[in-house]
């Protein structure tokens, strides 16, 4: 996840703007200082890739008789302001301990400290619905932004949907109507960049322009999403006992595991149901444009009947990138007939079915990723790579 690999994979994936990640870590911040050059206001270049200065923070505190655990994505306008934030936060926590440092502070206190020295910093509650470490999570979250941020709630203008929810799910909660819904890849390896993303249409690529859109201004085209069922906290469940339930099943059983009797991990769909004041088919749930995608290498692997890490799948992936360009371009834009002429016919079929939503779904639960299967119809063909 160093800068050379991030830049290389941004090109492979078709991403125009990355977050630097981890700006609070002293060693990584030093790398950013040495390697970045500012291209426009708040946008930095390394190689062919452009970056905003970003980081993620973890807040753990007690409130209302419960332990609260929230992750926050923070975008800052410049390296200079990032340095000021680091100096401020270093007095309250060990920034060198982790790329995502943990503070024994409330989320409200944490953002107050940031805004004292970087008033234009943009704060986004991360993966807003997951059970652990999120604003609305079942284990340690809240029922509203106001409960968490108090009088500063109005300054929070966007939330991240996370892998286990999508825009229609979020729009079932009318109190979130004023918020911009964003998606980010939360990558743990370069190959996972772009598995979720936010699509902007901007005349100029600058920090003020980007956060202006995220704050509710014009220019948001839509978001690229996982199928939410593929996220590892979509359903309720208990991984140790192999129990995966729709919220209605969990509620009917008192949210208890039928095997061991312990409390289930309550998933994202359940929490959305609890806070929702709109039905699933309400018109308001259709206001956001988004695309549900399956990573290209997963489609290839299913088409070829091999594992994602198999050399056959990896070689086919590389050949398609060489022939057609970026992964997001292939998944979203390339004509299917063109893909079919230059790749395995079953891969083209898989992309077509992904685009139409014709997939088999096995929802994720309690830390177990879900499975999105493609019902292929065409017989296997010889690949053309």
Amino acid 379: pLDDT: 58
> Percent of the chain beyond pLDDT 70?
98
Please give the structure tokens belonging to residue 181: 């819904």
The per-residue pLDDT of the chain, averaged, comes to 95
Measure the CA–CA gap between 38 and 6, rounded to whole angstroms.
17
Give ∠ CA 278-219-185 in degrees, rounded to 5: 70
How far from each other are the two terminal CA atoms of the chain, in whole angstroms?
Answer: 29
The burial of 91, by beta-carbon neighbours within 10 Å (0-12 exposed, 13-18 middle, 19 or more buried), is given as exposed
The burial of 271, by beta-carbon neighbours within 10 Å (0-12 exposed, 13-18 middle, 19 or more buried), is given as buried
Segment 98-113 shows an average pLDDT of: 97
The domains located in the chain, with CATH, are 3-229 (3.20.20), 295-373 (no CATH)
Residue 126: C-alpha distances to residues 52, 186, 233, 338, 375 (Å): 17, 9, 14, 38, 33
Amino acid 383: pLDDT: 39
Question: Could you tell me the pTM of the whole model?
Answer: 0.94
Alpha carbon 330 to chain centroid, angstroms: 20
Alpha carbon 79 to chain centroid, angstroms: 24
Handedness of CA 289, 294, 299, 300 (dihedral sign): positive
> Percent of the chain beyond pLDDT 90?
95
Per-residue model confidence as pLDDT tens digits over 110-157: 999 999 999 999 999 999 999 999 999 999 999 999 999 999 999 999
Amino acid 153: pLDDT: 98
Amino acid 382: pLDDT: 37
Segment 290-296 shows an average pLDDT of: 96
Higher pLDDT, 280 or 379: 280
Measure the CA–CA gap between 330 and 369, rounded to whole angstroms.
24
Amino acid 284: pLDDT: 96
Amino acid 377: pLDDT: 85
Residue 25: C-alpha distances to residues 20, 32, 74, 83, 122 (Å): 11, 10, 13, 10, 18
Per-residue model confidence as pLDDT tens digits over 202-216: 999 999 999 999 999
Segment 303-322 shows an average pLDDT of: 96
User: Beta-strand (E) ranges in 77-135?
Assistant: 102-103, 122-125
Measure the CA–CA gap between 119 and 379, rounded to whole angstroms.
59
The SS3 call for residue 317 is helix
Alpha carbon 118 to chain centroid, angstroms: 24
């Amino acid at each position: 996840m160093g800068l050379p690999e991030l830049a290389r994979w941004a090109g492979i994936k078709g991403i125009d703007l990355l977050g630097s990640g981890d700006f609070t870590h002293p060693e990584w911040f030093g790398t950013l200082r040495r390697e970045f050059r500012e291209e426009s206001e708040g946008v930095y270049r390394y190689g062919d890739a452009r970056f905003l200065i970003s980081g993620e923070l973890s807040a753990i505190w007690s409130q209302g008789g419960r332990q609260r655990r929230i992750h926050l994505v923070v975008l800052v306008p410049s390296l200079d302001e990032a340095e000021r934030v680091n100096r401020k936060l270093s007095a309250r926590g060990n920034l060198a301990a982790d790329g995502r440092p943990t503070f024994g502070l409330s989320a409200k206190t944490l953002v107050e400290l940031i805004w004292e020295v970087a008033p234009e910093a943009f704060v986004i509650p991360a993966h807003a619905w997951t059970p652990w470490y999120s604003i609305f999570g079942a284990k340690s979250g809240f029922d509203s932004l106001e409960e968490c941020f108090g009088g500063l709630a109005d300054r929070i203008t966007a939330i991240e949907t996370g892998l286990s929810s999508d825009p229609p799910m979020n729009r079932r909660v009318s109190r979130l109507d004023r918020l911009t819904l964003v998606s980010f890849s939360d990558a743990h390896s370069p190959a996972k960049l772009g598995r979720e993303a936010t699509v902007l249409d901007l005349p100029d690529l600058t920090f003020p322009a980007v956060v202006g859109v995220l704050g509710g201004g014009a220019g948001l085209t839509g978001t690229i999403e996982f199928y939410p069922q593929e996220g590892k906290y979509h359903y309720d469940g208990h991984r140790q006992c192999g129990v995966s339930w729709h919220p209605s099943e969990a509620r009917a059983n008192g949210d208890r595991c039928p095997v061991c009797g312990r409390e289930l991990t309550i998933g994202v769909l359940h929490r959305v149901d609890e806070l929702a004041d709109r039905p699933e088919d309400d018109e308001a749930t259709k206001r956001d444009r988004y695309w549900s995608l399956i990573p290209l290498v997963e489609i290839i692997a299913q088409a070829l009947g091999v594992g994602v890490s198999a050399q056959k799948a990896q070689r086919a992936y590389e050949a398609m990138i060489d022939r057609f360009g970026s992964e997001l371009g292939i998944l979203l834009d390339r004509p299917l007939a063109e893909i079919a002429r230059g790749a395995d016919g079953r891969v083209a079929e898989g992309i077509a079915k992904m685009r139409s939503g014709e997939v088999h779904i096995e929802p994720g639960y309690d830390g177990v990723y879900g499975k999105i299967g493609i019902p292929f119809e065409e017989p296997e063909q010889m690949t053309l790579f």
